[in-house]
Amino acid sequence: QVHLMESGGGLAQAGGSLSLHCEASGSIYRARQMGWYRQAPGKQRELVALMAIEGTTTYADSVKGRFLISRDNANHAVNLQMNNLMPEDTAVYYCYGAIEQTLVYENDYWGPGTQVTVSP
């Protein structure tokens, strides 16, 4: 009943910027955590950035100072502003939500992914 959908992926050149957006829909009490993971070809899925509902953030070391996560709690949405992109950022980016449909029960939800490709 909960669905996440990403938008904003595409092609950028090194040094450029992209902005990703994700919105959760369905029966949602609270999204305790929302954020972004990514998976490059041949690599494990890795955390990019997370933002808790109260505003605390976590970033991968590789994106600190370049990416900025933000949330719109009223719309259960999360954004990722990606600046100074590098070819190493090329990956499928997945929206993630730790979402409670009741006060005490929480499940992990994932969007289908959006491709980000950064050319040299």
pLDDT tens by residue, 60-104: 999 999 999 999 999 999 999 999 999 999 999 999 999 998 877
pLDDT band at 105 (very low <50, low <70, confident <90, very high): confident
Decide: 37 and 94 in contact? Cβ < 8 Å: yes
What is the mean predicted confidence (pLDDT) over 40-59?
A: 97
Residue 21 is predicted with a pLDDT of 98
Give φ, ψ of 28 to 5 degrees: -130, 125
Tokens 């730790």 found at: 98
